[in-house]
Amino acid sequence: MTDFVEIASEGLTARINPFGAELSSLTDMAGREYMTDADPAFWSGRAPLLFPIVGALAGDTLRHGGQAYTMPKHGFARRSAFSLIEQSANRAVFRLEDTAETRSCYPFAFALEMAFSLFGLTLEMTATVHNPGDAPLPFSFGYHPAFAWPLPGGADKAAHRVVFEADEPQPIRQIEKASGLLLPDGIPTPVQGRELSLDADLFRADALIWTELHSHSLAYGAEGGAWLDVAFPDTPMLGIWQVPGARYICIEPWQGHSDPLGYSADFREKPGVVSLEPGARRSFRMDVVVRPV
């Protein structure tokens, strides 16, 4: 069994599983848990990293240069063992590099580093993708953390809401449940101004998806209970999801999304895919500030 890596500050403790470099627990000094209980009756994930794709590909097929490669939903990083390359009391950094196995489904050289740092009541997470190859590296990346719903502090689950940094009046997108592909037409947003009142019925058709987002931060919580302030300055898209009835809510900053329904072109041309030049790096940060009761 993999040993989890633990880091701590004067306000928080985080436990990270090197398998997937997955944040598995975030607790305050009173021992209160801010992450999912991972009840397998709903979903046993905790905070998988989505790389080198976000969502699903049509037929689970990545097309590049006239070749077809099989790629599972959300990519392979979440099912890969990362190496621990740096650790101190409040910081840990993990790395995943290409192998013969990854190149069989994703024919590119890459390095993905995932850094976790704690400062007081703030968790800083930074994913950095490096292209060590001699050709452009196409990829997408996303975070998928499942936070406790309700959060600690005793507030009613039905009172929890997401408050965006800015008004978000634009239509949202959804996926076709059978294929996991992005439907072409938007639907009216459930956001009222800046606020999204959370209810399990919102997720009967799967995730709420913003492919164009005005906000780069949001707050999640309820009056009388704890709050989380979540910042995602480097990702232009967002998914919010749960299995209806579960005790978590996933707040997922994305660079990229599922294939649009009917998409069959080269992976490099897909909307939301980043092309990283040889020798270049690109980072994606997500900060979580805990406001306990």
CATH number at residue 146: 2.70.98.10
What are the tens digits of pLDDT across the range 196-234? 999 999 999 999 999 999 999 999 999 999 999 999 999
Query: What's the structural domain count of the chain?
Result: 1
- The bridge status of strand 146-148 relative to strand 248-255 is antiparallel
What are the tens digits of pLDDT across the range 20-30? 999 999 999 99
> What are the tokens at 27?
């607790």
Q: What is the pLDDT of residue 118?
A: 98
Stretch 48-67: mean pLDDT: 97
Q: What is the pLDDT of residue 105?
A: 97
Whose structure tokens read 């408050």?
163
Q: Give 5-31 as a DSSP string.
A: EEEE-SSEEEEEETBTTEEEEEEETT-
Please say if the pLDDT value at position 2 is more than 70. Answer: no
Measuring CA to CA, which residue among 72, 68, 34, 25 is closest to residue 50?
72
Cβ neighbour number for residue 136 with a 10 Å cutoff: 14
Determine the Cα–Cα distance for residues 226 and 247; give it in Å rounded to an integer: 15
| Residue-range definition of the domain harbouring residue 198 | 5-291
Stretch 54-81: mean pLDDT: 97
What are the tens digits of pLDDT across the range 150-181? 999 999 999 999 999 999 999 999 999 999 99
Determine the Cα–Cα distance for residues 231 and 216; give it in Å rounded to an integer: 6
Phi, psi angles (nearest 5°) of residue 102: -65, -35
CB–CB of 38/147 below 8 Å? no
Determine the Cα–Cα distance for residues 261 and 268; give it in Å rounded to an integer: 17
What are the tens digits of pLDDT across the range 225-237? 999 999 999 999 9
Confidence band (pLDDT; 50, 70, 90) for 98? very high
